[in-house]
Amino acid sequence: MLCLLMRLSGSQHSKKPVARRQRSTIFPNSGQEKLLTHEEYEKKEKCGLFGIWGTKAASQLCFNGLFAQQHRGQESAGIVVSDGTQLHGHVGMGLVSQVFTPRMLREDLAGHAAIGHVRYSTTGSSKLANAQPLMREYLMGPVAVAHNGNLINAKLLRRQYEEHGHIFQSTTDTEIIVHLLAKPTHLDKADPLPHVLMHLQGAYCLLFLFPDRMEAARDPWGIRPLVLGRTAEGHWCVASETCAFDVIDAQYVRDIEPAEIVRIDDSGVTSRFFDTPAPKLAYCCFEHVYFANPASRVFGQNVHVVREALGRALAREAPVEADFVMPMPDSGRSAALGFAKESQIPFEEGIVPNRFVGRTFILPNQLQRDRAVALKLNIIPDIIAGKRIVLVEDSVVRGTTTRSKMRAIRRAGAKEIHLRISCPPIRHPCFYGIDFPTREELIAHNRTVDEIRDYLEVDGLAYLSLQGMLSCLQFPEQQYCTACWSGQYKLPVDQPLAKFSFEKDQMRMF
């Protein structure tokens, strides 16, 4: 596609139609919203984005795209649509299927274009005000924005705007983007959006919806995935993962490039770059290790194929005698299959997951996570009793949930448990959109592998080496971010942004 700069549509002095009020719901049976304390928080998922242009079924297709990416966030969901003159949307706490109804999609969210978001919080509490897409009104009219990632300079930018009298309606880092967009000196630019994005530092994939267009952008380091697709009917769509295209019969076209803005409107698709892509990109390896759907294509590779290769590499690095290899459902399955093939130890399913519980790490406190583990995983004693097991897991972060799993397997009669992890020990926090705990809360921080093994109460423990992991990826190792394992941050973090940085005063009230 031609790379060109395009002026934002419409006169900068004309008044755009006012956005309808954004409706909201509370997660069923949740009671009131609650600000979570730091102690209640652990590793969570990233967010998922989806957008589509040019079809009367936009809201329904957006719903389907979000549903396919539910694994990327289970705290809240939202959809904003354009009917050509106005934006109107709905956000709510909970799963996609709980937030939206068929009537709502058909009547309240009628439009020819839509963007949607499933969220877990990396900056700001799990509460309705932080649910996305954020919809705001500014001089140029209504705009909605959905964000996957984390802005490491949001605290500094927000303080500057607050000192000049700006009022923020949420405690998420995403809202600063709208304030930047509305700044008069930015609006004077021929093309404001590239200028706005140049002010952002950190990880971001963004979807913007205006009445007359949709814009998708990706940070210069390419930390998070963002892909462009097209339906069989010719409608252009954007998603965090290609699995969202599968459910709407769309074809993957290409990745949106680092530092690229893709504009989609009634004229089609155009592209421009707001910056030069980083010479050394920072693709997040954890997308392949854990986050992404095995069916997705991420950073040019199928996730299942990569995970199976991780398992093979792990079997070569850490062989063990056992009766069978067993995956920890569900994200450990592909790596376990690779381990079994490489080691020629039989593959066996000894844990049956309950598909209706969801991902346990995304629940807001440890008690809920422990209960969810018991609900989610059903151990089969007839398979496990008296056996030496190689249990393959994708990662261990804090370790408390993993230890409860190991105890359940031991109670089922396992003779030996040899835990194999298909990535290196996580010793460092992430500032680019993964809500890992602080260093002190990470189980691998200042602990040897033997000490971790004793804590987890297993007979053997081994991690895949950093080089072993990188050897399974197609690009040169300098193109990947390994900060959570190596401590080498490609984007300097001078002022780390804590999850609750924007709401400390509010937390004191609870």
Cite the active site residues: 47
Structure tokens at 30: 């949740």
Q: How many residues does the chain have?
A: 510
User: What long-range pairs does 345-352 form, CB within 8 A, spacing at least 24?
Assistant: 345/390, 348/324, 348/383, 349/380, 349/383, 350/324, 350/326, 350/379, 350/380, 350/383, 350/384, 350/389, 350/409, 350/412, 351/326, 351/327, 351/377, 351/378, 351/379, 351/380, 351/409, 352/377, 352/378, 352/380
Residue with tokens 């895949």: 464
Contact 113, 53 (CB under 8 A): yes
Measured between alpha carbons, how far is 455 from 79 in angstroms, rounded to an integer? 43
Residue 369, Cβ density class (10 Å: 0-12 exposed, 13-18 middle, ≥19 buried): buried
Report the alpha-carbon angle 298-302-303, nearest 5.
75
CA distance 336 to 420: 9
Of 292, 314, 319, which is closest to residue 303 (Cα–Cα)? 292
